[in-house]
């Protein structure tokens, strides 16, 4: 049985070391809350790239299929995997593929992004040789500085692109680099610039069925534009806030829990050190629990000596450095802990919860990094 299709029935076998639990009901509740919040948008793209932000590409896609309009992916490899697993939902590919990959992309029925006329020409030529049309979305760079046609070149380039005979230009989009920041006038400026481009093209008789600019943060913030009709939802879908201000505006439930079990217990005396670099020194006699989880599993090394875990509903701190495939926690002088007891590294237990946002702050990174780096080979369990 593939790891990504494990269920709670297989938990006794799969969850003896470190594993992930994904709550599909929370995923769907987050989707509905976001859809309600971003009421101006008529369609939703669920972003499932990067192994669905660590949650499991195929199971998450199966959960969302039929409930969203598009699935957003980051590579042709993800597209072929989804198709092989029977996912028939429309797939939208961010980024750019190489010319030699275009025929496979078209065979897989993937919607492609174009960021230049030359890229569009290559796709059109491949489609023409296959006697079919290629569906594409044109990306405009209004300030991200990454992919996309430069704003000042957009009108002339898009006019050339739409004349290519084997392309169906279904959509136009842009991307906000700082949609999560409050306040952020550049985002408003980007939105106005993007809308002006759409208006100018419409005056030339060029229109698009889909017009999108909003990621999770943008969808939650910008509800004024009537020209946009698609929201691309990623981080928020998985119950993670793009920035602290959003916590007051919408309830999001974390979908993923990272769990492990105690594999060894050791009593140490006051003054004893634990771990590489001797960075933890016991201030009193205490019990150290060893957990079979480390940075090779995707748990950040930069949480060494900083982060806490949940054990029996209480918080305990990591003792010393996170190792490649293990870490130690300080359970204090009095404990009846046993080998095999469950420990939560990310998730909730009773009233206590450790969220990706908390770990990201301690590791001086972003929540995306916390969940998307999780080892794809870790068992993932999907309660019904």
Return the number of other C-beta atoms located less than 10 Å from residue 349's C-beta: 19
Burial of 381 (0-12, 13-18, 19+ CB in 10 A): buried
- Would you say 272 and 29 are in contact if contact means Cβ atoms under 8 Å apart? no
Q: Strand 273-274 relative to strand 264-268: parallel, antiparallel, unpaired?
A: unpaired
Instruction: Tell me if residue 266 is catalytic.
Output: no
Say how far apart CA 296 and CA 328 lie, in whole Å: 15
Which residues contact residue 176 at a Cβ distance below 8 angstroms, ignoring those fewer than 6 apart? 143, 144, 187, 190, 191, 213, 214, 215, 217, 218
From CA 307, how far away is CA 267, in angstroms rounded? 21
Which residue of the set 204, 266, 276, 314 is catalytic? 276
Active site residue 133: no
Q: Distance between CA atoms of 2 and 8, rounded to whole angstroms?
A: 14
Euclidean distance between CA atoms 64 and 381, whole angstroms: 17
Q: Which of 16, 49, 133, 382 is flagged as catalytic?
A: 49
148 and 115 Cβ atoms separated by less than 8 Å: yes
Angstrom distance (rounded) from CA 359 to CA 307: 7
Per residue, what are the HEC states of 257-285?
Answer: EEEEECCEEEEECCCCEECHHHCEECCCC
| Residue 21: CB atoms within 10 Å | 20
SS3 346: strand
Bridge partners (DSSP) listed for residue 344: 259, 310
Phi, psi of 348 (to 5 degrees): -125, 155
Active-site positions?
49, 276
């Amino acid at each position: 049985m593939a790891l990504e299709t494990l269920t709670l029935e297989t938990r006794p076998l799969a969850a003896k070391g470190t594993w992930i639990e994904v709550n599909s009901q929370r995923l769907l509740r987050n989707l509905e809350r976001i859809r309600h919040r971003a009421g101006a948008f008529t369609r939703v793209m669920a972003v499932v790239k990067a192994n669905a932000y660590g949650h499991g590409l195929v199971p998450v896609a199966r959960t969302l299929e039929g409930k969203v309009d598009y699935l957003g992916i980051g590579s042709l490899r993800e597209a072929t995997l989804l198709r092989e697993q029977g996912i028939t939902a429309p797939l939208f590919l961010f980024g750019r593929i190489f010319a030699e990959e275009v025929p496979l992309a078209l065979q897989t029925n993937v919607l492609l992004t174009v960021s230049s006329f030359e890229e569009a020409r290559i796709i059109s030529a491949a489609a023409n040789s296959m006697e079919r049309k290629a569906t594409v979305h044109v990306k405009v760079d209004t300030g991200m500085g990454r992919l996309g046609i430069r704003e000042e070149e957009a009108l002339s380039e898009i006019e050339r692109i739409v004349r290519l005979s084997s392309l169906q230009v279904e959509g136009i989009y842009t991307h906000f680099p700082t949609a999560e920041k409050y306040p952020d006038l550049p985002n408003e400026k980007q939105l106005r610039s993007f809308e002006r481009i759409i208006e100018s093209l419409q005056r030339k008789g060029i229109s698009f069925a889909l017009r999108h600019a909003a990621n999770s943060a943008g969808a939650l913030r910008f509800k004024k534009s009537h020209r946009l009709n698609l929201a691309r939802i990623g981080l928020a879908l998985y119950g993670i806030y793009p920035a602290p201000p959003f916590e007051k505006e919408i309830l999001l439930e974390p979908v993923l829990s990272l769990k492990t079990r105690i594999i060894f217990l050791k009593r140490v005396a006051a003054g004893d050190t634990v771990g590489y670099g001797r960075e933890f020194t016991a201030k009193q006699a205490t019990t150290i629990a060893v957990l079979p989880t480390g940075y090779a599993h995707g748990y950040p090394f930069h949480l060494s000596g900083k982060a806490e875990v949940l054990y029996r509903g209480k918080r305990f701190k990591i003792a010393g450095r996170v190792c490649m495939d293990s870490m130690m926690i300080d359970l204090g002088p009095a404990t009846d802990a046993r080998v095999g007891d469950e420990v939560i590294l990310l998730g909730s237990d009773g009233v206590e919860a450790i969220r990706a946002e908390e770990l990201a702050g301690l590791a001086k990174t972003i929540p995306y990094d916390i969940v998307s780096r999780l080892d794809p080979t870790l068992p993932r369990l999907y309660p019904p």
